[in-house]
Amino acid sequence: MRVLSGIQPSGALHIGNYCGAIRQYIALQEGNDAFYFVANYHALTSVRDAELLRRYVFDVLVDLLSLGIDPEHATLFVQSDVHETTELAWLLTSVTPMGWLEKCVSYKDKVQQGLPAEHGLFAYPVLQAADILLYDADVVPVGQDQKQHLEITRDIAERFNHVYGDVFRLPKPYILDQVAVVPGIDGRKMSKSYQNTIEIFDEPAVIRKKCKKIVTDSTPVEAPKNPDTCPLFGLYKLFAPAGDLAEVERRYREGGMGYGEMKTRLADAIIEHFAVARERRAEWVAHPTRVAEVRAAAAERARRSARIVLDRARVACGMD
C-alpha cells in the first residue's frame, strides 16, 4: 500500500504535530511504501523570506529523520525537488471548476486570519491534488478536519479521468487516530498561528518555562480536579510514563495534586519522551552533508515514480 503525506515548513514542529500526525507516519512506514514530503511550494503562501524558507526546509527534514522517519523504509523528499509537481498541477487546473475552489473552507479561514487573497492560496487544493495523484497514492493520512482536501483531490481526479480517460488512481483517506485536540499553553488548540506551542526540540529549560505558563483555573491544591476536562492533564497523558498515569489521575480526582507539581511532571515527561530524538537531531545537524545525501536520493526515487504518472497524464491530454 502506498502512503503519502506532506508537512509544510512554516516553522518549528511542535508536540501537536507529533501527536496528531508524525508518530503515525512513523508507524505507517513499516510494511508500506511510504512517501513523505516537505511541502515548500505550499509554504510560499505564508513564508516570503528565501533564507528563512531554506532553513525551515532543512529543519523539518532533520526533525523528521530524528523522530524516526527512516530513509531505508520511507521516501522523505522535498516537494520542489520534483519539478513534475507543478506541471501536473497545471494540467489539473485546466479541468478544475472555479466553484469547487470557492467552496473550500481552508481558503476562507486563512483569508479571515489575515492572509492576502492571492491565487496561490486560492489554488492550493489543485497543487495538493498534484502532490497526491503524482505518486499513485493508495491512502493519504488526514485528520477528520482535513477530509475535504482529499475529497477535492478525488473530485479533480475523477473529472480528469472523465475528460481524458482512466489516468489517475483515486486515493482513499486514512483517518489519523488523533487526540481530539492537543491543547496549547493558553488552552486553545496548539497552533503556530496562536503562538501557543511547545516545540518538540525546544531546549529543556524552554520546555519547562513554557509548561509553567500553561493556563489553569484557581482550584486549590487540596481540592479534587477533573482530569477529563483539564488541558494540563490532557497534555500530560500524551507523554506520561505508563506507570505514573494511574497514580496521578487518582491524586487529581482525590485532591492533593497541585497544578505546579503537574506542570513540573509534564515538562519532565516531554523532555524524557524526546531525549533520544534530541540526541539524534544533534548528530544530523552536525553532518549536513548526510541530510543532503538523503534528500538527493529521495528526490531521485520520487521523480522516478512521478514521471510515470505525469507521462500518463501528458499522453492523455495530448502534451506528449
Q: Phi/psi of residue 177, each to 5°?
A: -80, 70
The vertex-114 CA angle with 130 and 80, nearest 5°, equals 25
In-domain check, residue 105: yes
Establish whether 209 is a catalytic residue.
no
Residue 93 forms part of a structural domain = yes
* Residue 192, domain member (yes or no): no
Exposed / middle / buried, residue 52 (Cβ in 10 Å: 0-12, 13-18, 19+): middle
What amino acid is encoded at 263 in this protein? Answer: K
Q: Residue 197 domain-assigned?
A: no
Do 103 and 163 lie in one domain? The reply is yes
> Residue 177 pLDDT more than 70?
no
- Which range has the worst mean pLDDT, 42-56, 175-189, 258-272? 175-189
Does one domain contain both 10 and 113? Answer: yes
Residue type, 320: D
Task: Tell me: do 151 and 176 sit in the same domain.
Answer: yes
**Which member of 192, 210, 225, 263 is catalytic?**
192
CA distance 219 to 33: 50
**DSSP strand E in 39-93: where?**
74-78
Same domain, 238 and 139: no
192 annotated active-site? yes
Is residue 25 pLDDT above 80, yes or no?
yes
**In a shared domain, residues 293 and 224:** no
Q: Is the pLDDT of residue 180 over 70?
A: no
Look at residue 22 and tell me whether its pLDDT is greater than 90: yes
Among candidate residues 103, 110, 172, 210, the one labeled active-site is 110
**pLDDT at residue 179 tops 60:** no
User: In angstroms, rounded to a whole number, what is the distance separating the alpha carbons of residues 131 and 117?
Assistant: 22
* Beta-carbon count within 10 A of 122 CB: 17
Exactly one of 103, 108, 147, 189 is catalytic; name it: 189
Using left for φ > 0, alpha for ψ between -120 and 50, and beta otherwise, residue 77 falls in: beta
Look up the CATH number of the domain holding residue 234. Answer: 1.10.240.10
User: How many beta carbons lie within 10 A of that of residue 165, not counting itself?
Assistant: 11
Statement to judge: residues 125 and 267 lie in one domain: no
Residues 20 and 109 reside in one and the same domain: yes
Residues 175 and 234 grouped into a single domain: no
**What domain count does the chain have?**
2
112 and 177 together in one domain: yes
Q: Verify that 129 and 209 share a domain, yes or no.
A: no
300 falls in which pLDDT band (50, 70, 90)?
very high
State residue 158's pLDDT score.
98
Burial 262-282 (b: 16+ CB within 10 A, else e): bbebbbbbbbebbeebbebbe
Average pLDDT over residues 96-107: 83
Among 54-58, 186-190, 218-222, the range scoring the smallest mean pLDDT is: 186-190
Domain check: are 122 and 177 in the same one? yes
Mean local confidence (pLDDT), 4-31: 94
Per-residue pLDDT band for 161 (boundaries 50, 70, 90) equals: very high
Give the whole-angstrom CA distance, residue 58 versus residue 63: 9
Residue 163 pLDDT > 60 = yes
Domain match, 268 and 294 both = no
Kindly state the cell numbers that stand for 6: 506532506
**Which amino acid appears at position 53 of this protein?**
L
Q: How far apart are CA 155 and CA 218, in angstroms?
A: 50
The CATH number given to whatever domain includes residue 137 is 3.40.50.620
Strand, helix or coil for residue 135? coil
With bands split at pLDDT 50, 70 and 90, how would you rate the model's confidence at 178?
low
Which residues contact residue 18 at a Cβ distance below 8 angstroms, ignoring those fewer than 6 apart? 67, 200
Is the residue at 128 inside a domain? Answer: yes
Q: What pLDDT score does 243 carry?
A: 83
Residue 87 domain flag: yes
pLDDT (average), residues 311-315: 98
Q: Does any domain span residue 190?
A: no
Residue 106 lies in a domain: yes
Domain enclosing residue 296, as ranges: 2-181+288-317
